[in-house]
Amino acid sequence: MEIDERDIVYETMRSSGPSGQNVNKVETAVRATHLPSGLSVLASDMRTQVQNKKLAKERLVMKLSAIEEGKALEQTHSVWMNHNTLERGNPVKTFKGNL
């Protein structure tokens, strides 16, 4: 699944955790927000902002594809449930007796 880069807004912030003085001084954490859906993810695992930006985009793609997969599964289920609610019409021929 591909996302248009113009649909994503990136915000940077200071991260916390084990990276020493780098995390205290530099804004390495990245929050990516997908504008059409409103979903946002946070990446602060890596030491650099560029790596976290790439990781945030990957997480956003994974999250959106999981949502799309869930919608497809729900649609398939609703089609199958529609099959179970079919009503049969009047029979034209009926068979009585032994085969």
pLDDT 10s digits, 3-22: 899 999 999 998 776 666 76
Residue range of the domain that includes 23: 5-84
Residue 97 lies in a domain: no
**Is 20 inside a domain boundary?**
yes
Contact 1, 30 (CB under 8 A): no
Please indicate, yes or no, if residue 68 is contained in any of the structural domains.
Answer: yes
If one counts the domains in the chain, the total is 1
Cβ burial of 10 (10 Å; 0-12, 13-18, 19+) is middle
Q: What are phi and psi of 82, to 5 degrees?
A: -65, -35
pLDDT at 73 over 80: yes
The pLDDT assigned to 65 comes to 95
Q: Is residue 92 part of a domain?
A: no
Indicate if the pLDDT at residue 85 is higher than 90.
no
Span 78-97, average pLDDT: 78
Would you say residue 89 lies in a domain?
no
In this structure, what CATH number is given to the domain that contains residue 28?
A: 3.30.160.20
The answer to whether residue 41 sits within a structural domain is yes
* Alpha carbons 52 and 55: distance in angstroms, whole number: 5
Contact 45, 58 (CB under 8 A): no
